[in-house]
C-alpha cells in the first residue's frame, strides 16, 4: 500500500466477519491519528454458515460475500476512498480461504488480508481506545463475533495479554442450537462447553489487574440495547459508553433463553432481527465470562475492528521513517521474537540499518512507502533467527519461525512477506517453484523481490559481522549505480565488498541497473 493512494484523505476499512461484513469510511488528515466517520455500511452475510466447524467456505457463502463487497466497493469508490479489508475467523480457518481471496482480488480488485486471532484482538483494542477515554486506564476487553471471541488486557496500547478462542455466536449455534426450539439440555451443554473453553483465558486474565471491562461488536451491542430499553432509556441514543451490570445481563440472558423459538425472540424489544437465530450462543459466552471473572459491570464500545483497521493503516502509512517509534507494538514484537531465538543482535541491527539506508537512497527506483520499509527492517532484524534451529538452511528455518510466530501488528499476509524477505537473504533468488513464494499474489511477489534485493546487499556488506561499513552514499547515472561505502579509518573492507558483490545480482535484475561499490 503506497502513500500516493491516500491523496483523497478518505479511507475505507472493511471487517469481513463470520456473521456480518462491516465497512466504515472516514476522512482524515495525514500526520494526525484522528479521523471523522462519514459513512457506515453493514450486511449480514453469514460467511461462516453452511459447513461443519467452519473448515470450508461454501460456494453460496463466498458468492454472498463477494456481492456484499461489490456493493461496499461501489460506495467506497464514490468517496474515492482506498479500501483495506481484513478477514477474521471464517476466512482464517477455512482450508479454501485462498479461493475466496483470489476471487475477491480478481473480481473486485480488493486485497483481503487475514488477521490472526491475536492480531484481531489488537486491532479491536485500537478501535476501542478511539471510542472511549481509556488510554490511561487498564482495561479487559472482549469482543464476541460469529466465529471467535477475542480477549485483551492492556493499558496505553501496551498489551499485557491477548487471546482468541474458537467461540462465536454462529459456531455455537451450529454446534448446539440447530433444532427449531431451545431446550434445557442444549443450554446446559452449551454453558458447560463455553465454561470449559474459557478456562485458559480466565486463568491468564485473573493474573492481571484491570479497572474496567469493555465489550464490543454485535452480540454485546445487541444485549446492551435490550438492557437499555428494559431500563426505559431512549432507543435512538448512542450505546457508546453505555454501562450495564451483571444483574441486568443475567436478566436479559434469561429472557432470551425463555424465548425458545426465533419467532418468540423477535418480540424482545431491542434485539436485532438478523441476530435472533444466533443470539443465544453469543449471550452464553458473555454470561459465562461474567460469572467466571466475577465481573460486576461492562462498558460498551461502538468502535471495534473496522475503526482499529483505520487507525492501524494511518499509523503504518504516516508515522514516518522511525520504525521503533514510541508505543510501536510492531517493533517490540519483532524484538521479542528475535530475542526468543537468541539472535546475533549487533549484526542483525547493523544489517537492518544498512538495509533501510539503501531503501531510502533508492526511493526513486522502488517507489515504496514506510510500510514496506518496516517489512524490510523487520526481516533484517529476524533474518538469521533460523540459526537457533540449525545453521544449515537457516534461511528456511527463519521463514518458518517468522511465518508461524505471533508478531503483533502484522496480518498473516504481512508476516508472509517478512518471512519471505528473510528467507531470501542468502542462497537462491525467489523462484516460482518455491511453494511459499508462489503462494503470494503477483504484487507481493514483486515486493519480496525488491526488498530481498536490498536485503541481500545489506547482508553482504556485513559479511564479516564486524560492522565495518557504517554508512552508504549513492551516485546514479542512468542505469549505473555506485554505492559509496564509508568505513572506519584503516579498516579492511575487502571481505565485505566481496560479500556485497556476490549478492548484488537480484537487485540488478529487479531494478534493471548495474551496481558498483567503492570505498
Question: Mean per-residue pLDDT for 325-343?
Answer: 81
Cell digits for 227? 438492557
Q: Is 380 exposed, middle or buried (0-12, 13-18, 19+ CB in 10 A)?
A: buried
Q: Are the CB atoms for 483 and 517 separated by under 8 Å? A: yes
Query: In this model, does residue 121 exceed pLDDT 60?
Result: yes
Q: Are the CB atoms for 134 and 128 separated by under 8 Å? A: yes
Question: Mean per-residue pLDDT for 478-493?
Answer: 89
pTM of the entire structure?
Answer: 0.82
Q: Are the CB atoms for 345 and 160 separated by under 8 Å? A: no
Q: Which CATH class is domain 319-518?
A: mainly alpha
Cell digits for 430? 525467489
Question: Mean per-residue pLDDT for 83-90?
Answer: 96
Encode pLDDT of 221-269 as tens digits: 999 999 999 988 776 678 999 999 999 999 999 999 999 999 999 999 9
Cell digits for 421? 524477505
Q: Which residue has the cell 469493555?
A: 214
Percent of the chain scoring above 70 in pLDDT: 95
Question: Mean per-residue pLDDT for 359-372?
Answer: 93
pLDDT, residue 519, reads 85
Query: What mean pLDDT is reported for the chain?
Result: 91
For the domain 3-114, what is the CATH superfamily, name and number? ATPase, nucleotide binding domain (3.30.420.40)
Identical topology for domains 118-304 and 319-518: no
Instruction: State the pLDDT confidence band at 1, using cuts at 50, 70 and 90.
Output: very low
- Could you tell me the maximum CA-CA distance found in the chain, to the nearest angstrom? 85
Question: Mean per-residue pLDDT for 481-506?
Answer: 91
What does CATH list as the number for 118-304?
3.30.420.150
pLDDT, residue 2, reads 43
Query: In this model, does residue 321 exceed pLDDT 50?
Result: no
pLDDT, residue 103, reads 96
Instruction: State the pLDDT confidence band at 322, using cuts at 50, 70 and 90.
Output: very low
pLDDT, residue 235, reads 66
DSSP alpha helices (H): ranges in 158-302?
169-176, 184-206, 218-231, 246-258, 262-265, 279-293
Instruction: State the pLDDT confidence band at 329, using cuts at 50, 70 and 90.
Output: confident
pLDDT, residue 3, reads 40
Q: Tell me the domain boundaries of the chain.
A: 3-114, 118-304, 319-518
pLDDT, residue 406, reads 83
Instruction: State the pLDDT confidence band at 52, using cuts at 50, 70 and 90.
Output: low
Question: Mean per-residue pLDDT for 134-144?
Answer: 94
Query: In this model, does residue 195 exceed pLDDT 60?
Result: yes
Cell digits for 504? 548484488
pLDDT, residue 158, reads 86
Distance of alpha carbon 324 from the chain centroid: 18
Percent of the chain scoring above 90 in pLDDT: 81
Please write down the HEC assignment for all residues of 219-241. HHHHHHHHHHHHHCCCCCCCCCC
pLDDT, residue 319, reads 58
pLDDT, residue 323, reads 44
SS3 39: strand
Query: In this model, does residue 318 exceed pLDDT 90?
Result: no
Question: Mean per-residue pLDDT for 180-191?
Answer: 93
**Residue of higher predicted confidence among 315 and 89:** 89
∠ CA 416-420-426, rounded to 5°: 165
End-to-end CA distance of the chain: 35
pLDDT, residue 331, reads 87
At a CB cut-off of 8 Å and minimum separation 6, what does 203 contact? none
DSSP states of 70-88:
HHHHHHHHHTT--EEEEE-
Amino acid at each position: 500500500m503506497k502513500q500516493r493512494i491516500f491523496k483523497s484523505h478518505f479511507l475505507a476499512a472493511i471487517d469481513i466477519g463470520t456473521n456480518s461484513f462491516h465497512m466504515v469510511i472516514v476522512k482524515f488528515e495525514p500526520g494526525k491519528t484522528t479521523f471523522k466517520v462519514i459513512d457506515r455500511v453493514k450486511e449480514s452475510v453469514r460467511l461462516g454458515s453452511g459447513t461443519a466447524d467452519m473448515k470450508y467456505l461454501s460456494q453460496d457463502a463466498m458468492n454472498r460475500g463477494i456481492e456484499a463487497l461489490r456493493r461496499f466497493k461501489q460506495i467506497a469508490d464514490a468517496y474515492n476512498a482506498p479500501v483495506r479489508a481484513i478477514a477474521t475467523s471464517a476466512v482464517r480457518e477455512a482450508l479454501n480461504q485462498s479461493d475466496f481471496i483470489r476471487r475477491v482480488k480478481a473480481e473486485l480488485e480488493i486485497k483481503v488480508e487475514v488477521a490472526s486471532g491475536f492480531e484481531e484482538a489488537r486491532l479491536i483494542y485500537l478501535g476501542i481506545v478511539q471510542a472511549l477515554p481509556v488510554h490511561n486506564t487498564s482495561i479487559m476487553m472482549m469482543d464476541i463475533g460469529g466465529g471467535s471471541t477475542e480477549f485483551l488486557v492492556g493499558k496505553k496500547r501496551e498489551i499485557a495479554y491477548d487471546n482468541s478462542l474458537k467461540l462465536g455466536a454462529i459456531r455455537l449455534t451450529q454446534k448446539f442450537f440447530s433444532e427449531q426450539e431451545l431446550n434445557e439440555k442444549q443450554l446446559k451443554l452449551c454453558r458447560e462447553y463455553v465454561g470449559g473453553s474459557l478456562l485458559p483465558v480466565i486463568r491468564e486474565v485473573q493474573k492481571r489487574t484491570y479497572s474496567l471491562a469493555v465489550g464490543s461488536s454485535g452480540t454485546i451491542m445487541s444485549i446492551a440495547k435490550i438492557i437499555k430499553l428494559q431500563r426505559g432509556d431512549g432507543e435512538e441514543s448512542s450505546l457508546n459508553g453505555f454501562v450495564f451490570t451483571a444483574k441486568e445481563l443475567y436478566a436479559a440472558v434469561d429472557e432470551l433463553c425463555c424465548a425458545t423459538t426465533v419467532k418468540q425472540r423477535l418480540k424482545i424489544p431491542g434485539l436485532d432481527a438478523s441476530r435472533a437465530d444466533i443470539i443465544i450462543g453469543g449471550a452464553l459466552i458473555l454470561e459465562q465470562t461474567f460469572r467466571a471473572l466475577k465481573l460486576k459491570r461492562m462498558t460498551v464500545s461502538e468502535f471495534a475492528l473496522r475503526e482499529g483497521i483505520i487507525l492501524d493503516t494511518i499509523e503504518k502509512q504516516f508515522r514516518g521513517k522511525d520504525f521503533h517509534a514510541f508505543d510501536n507494538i510492531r517493533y517490540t514484537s519483532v524484538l521479542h521474537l528475535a530475542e526468543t531465538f537468541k539472535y546475533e543482535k549487533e549484526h542483525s541491527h547493523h544489517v537492518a540499518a544498512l538495509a533501510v539506508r539503501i531503501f531510502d537512497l533508492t526511493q526513486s527506483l522502488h517507489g515504496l512507502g514506510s510500510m514496506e520499509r518496516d517489512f524490510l527492517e523487520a526481516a533484517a532484524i529476524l533474518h538469521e533467527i533460523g540459526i537457533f534451529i540449525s545453521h544449515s538452511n537457516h534461511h528456511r528455518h527463519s521463514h518458518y519461525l517468522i511465518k508461524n510466530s505471533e508478531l503483533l501488528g502484522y496480518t498473516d499476509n504481512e508476516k508472509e512477506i517478512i518471512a519471505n524477505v528473510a528467507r531470501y537473504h542468502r542462497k537462491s533468488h525467489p523462484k516460482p517453484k518455491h511453494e511459499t513464494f508462489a503462494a503470494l499474489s503477483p504484487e507481493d511477489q514483486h515486493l519480496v523481490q525488491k526488498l530481498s534485493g536490498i536485503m541481500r546487499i545489506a547482508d553482504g556488506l556485513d559479511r564479516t559481522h564486524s560492522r565495518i561499513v557504517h554508512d552508504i552514499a549513492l551516485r546514479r547515472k542512468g542505469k549505473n549505480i555506485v554505492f559509496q561505502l564509508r568505513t572506519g579509518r584503516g579498516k579492511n573492507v575487502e571481505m565485505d565488498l566481496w560479500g556485497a558483490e556476490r549478492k548484488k545480482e537480484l537487485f540488478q535484475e529487479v531494478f534493471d541497473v548495474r551496481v558498483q561499490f567503492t570505498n
